[in-house]
Structure 1
Amino acid sequence: MELIRKLHDSLKPKSKLIIFCDGKILYDHTQNDYFFEINDLNPLDNYSPYLSIANDNSLYIYVIEVSNLDQVLGLFMDPRNIEFVDFRYMLEFLEPRKFKLVARALILNNWKKYNKFCSICGIKNKFNHSEGAFDCNCSSQLIYPSISPCVITLIHNDNQILLGRSKFFPTNMYSTLAGFIEAGESAEEALLREIKEEVNITVTDIKYFQSQSWPFPSQLMLGYFCKYTEGEIKLNDGELEDANWFELNDLPIIPPETSISGQLIRSYILDHSKL
């Protein structure tokens, strides 16, 4: 599959659509699918030009943001089974390849939606097809999709791991700690600062795990393991409502394996079981 950023005046005959409305994605509960065929939907002529985000053997994949006033479901689409849902609802059962594509769709959909007009002069932006970016005659600056780098880390201490929870999490769900990288910081510096700010402890033995694109709203998550050194947990900055040490065999609800947080936790448990 080739990842692209192209605007087309009309939809290609061989194509599939990913459709958003007010931040929610159109989802077919019966088929467990978020791809839709053009012929199954009501006409979408008002939404040209269309943003194509991938090309899979000449099958173009488009992302479209529709108005909540429009009825996009075609005559034979059952609204009891097909509806707009929060993308987070799908995390538990999306395979990694599909998650990456939908995450890309959400990020690029927001990029197109929020860059219609020039922030300097206010006139409508043009699309630079050779660069796959928006621009304006008043400035030489190209507007590419914005990606915010973040660190996310699993703090471990032998058979225990430190997890925290936000007030926005589902009941009894805890996750690894995360935060944005500040201008001028390295990822490792950001990790040490975020841990100190959030839970007031120090760590060492920082080891890179892997990265993940995260579309809430458009982060690149850099995952790390680190070992607890010293300090008592103290919530400093108000971002967390709770943080605690948990035994590996007695964990609360943790994020799904689709997320890098869930992957960090499961990877540590698996590696620790081999010792």
Structure 2
Amino acid sequence: MSKPYQKPAADEPAWWFIVSAGELLLSPTDNRPPHGQLDQLPLPDLNDYKVVFIGELRERNCYLVMADFGDAEFAALGDFHSLREVLVQQDDDMFAMAARAKQIADYLQTHRFCGRCGARMQAVDWELAMHCHSCQHRCYPRISPCIIVAIRKGRKVLLARGKRHPEGLFSVLAGFVEAGETLEQTLAREVMEEAGIEIKNHRYVASQSWPFPHSLMIGYTAEWRSGELRLDPFELEQGDWFDIDQLPRIPLPGTIAYKLIMQLKAEIDQEK
């Protein structure tokens, strides 16, 4: 990646990922981040804001603009929304870049001071990092790996409701990787802790950046090996084995949870 704090040219067509308090500004016309030349968009003077180059999307540079909380200077371009609005569009590349923008914004806001000595940190101009010139401590954007797994038992799929899920929504099991663990160890531990069962034949399917706030979801499918379902009441409110053709409300298309459930459905349908 080129220098993160390079200045965008006034006549450069670009994507503008404007983030305020964890929300992303979306255009009311297409529900996407604004796109266009700096000198042709109703943007405020960006010299008053932190602007970070975050990559390219469809042969156009992408810039993060860190807006203030309740900032009305961008009102002519649209309104601020949760990144879940981008997820609904099922545009994986757009969501990935929006996720990157939000995670970098969170990182810059939470690393203004050194976690080792407390001194103010400075942005490194040639890479995305914050550096403490007092004790030489350097920090990079945090990523928290998390496994997510869809488990089948014959024609049935294990789905559960976490306490943070919207009413009526069931999803697959997930959990954070602990220090020193392998992904395989996390799979076995999380499934046992949350559901009381053992699994076999786990297979990696895909991964997804999940900026709520800085997770990387690593997706698997697996099969039930043994054990009776015993849900962890501190993590889950409901859960059961559901027939693949009689599923409750599940996560929206575009989420890795939906992709894993559909992967199992395709496998089960092939066995008919």
- TM-score (ref. length: structure 1): 0.88
2 CA distance for matches of 1:57 and 1:250? 39
Does the C-alpha gap of structure 1 residues 267 and 5 become closer, same or farther in structure 2, counting only changes over 3 Å?
farther
In the TM superposition, 1:217-228 aligns within 5 A as 217-228=213-224
Match of residue 52 from structure 2 = 51
Query: Identity percentage over the alignment?
Result: 30
Task: Give the structure 1 partner of residue 63 of structure 2.
Answer: 62
1:171 and 1:5 map into 2 onto residues whose CA distance is: 44
Report the counterpart of residue 71 of structure 1 in structure 2: 72
Aligned to 2:232: 236
Structure 1 residue 122, shift from structure 2 partner = 2.9
Q: Which moved more, 1:164-173 or 1:53-62?
A: 53-62
My pick for the range that moved more, 241-250 or 88-97, is 88-97
For structure 2, the residue ranges without an aligned partner over 5 or more in a row are: none
* Mapped contact 1:65–1:109 kept (Cα < 8 A): yes
1:61-120 alpha-carbon deviations (Å, 9 max, x no partner): 11122123432236xx37xxx211121233221311111111111111111111122223
1:183 to 155, 179, 183: 179
Measure how far apart 1:212 and its partner are: 1.7
SS at match of 2:99: helix
- SS of residue in 1 equivalent to 2:137: strand
Q: How is 1:1-275 mapped onto 2 (pairs within 5 angstroms)?
A: 6-8=4-6, 10-13=7-10, 14=12, 15-37=14-36, 38=38, 39-48=41-50, 50-55=51-56, 59-73=60-74, 77=76, 82-236=78-232, 238-275=234-271
Q: 1:4 to 1:114 in 2, by over 3 A?
A: farther
Distance 1:254 1:56, change over 3 A: closer
Runs of 4 or more, structure 1, over 6 Å off, are none
Separation (CA, whole Å) in 1 of partners of 2:212 and 2:23: 12
Q: Judge which range, 126-135 or 104-113, deviates more.
A: 126-135
- Displacement of 1:29 in angstroms is 2.8
Distance 2:162 2:147 in 1: 16
Q: Deviation string for 1:16-52 (max 9, x for gaps)?
A: 311111111111232221124433223333213x111
Tell me how far apart the structure 2 counterparts of residues 113 and 11 of structure 1 sit (CA, whole Å): 22
User: Residue deviations 1:186-238, cap 9 Å, x none?
Assistant: 11111111111111111112222122221111112111111112222222251
d(CA) in 1 for partners of 2:80 and 2:261? Answer: 30
Do the aligned partners of residues 222 and 90 (structure 1) sit closer, same or farther apart at CA in structure 2, a change above 3 Å counting?
same
Report which stretch shifted further, 107-116 or 50-59: 50-59
In structure 1, list runs of 5 or more residues that go unmatched: none
How many residues align structurally?
Answer: 266
- Aligned CA RMSD, in angstroms, stands at 2.1
Which deviates further from its counterpart, 140-149 or 238-247? 140-149
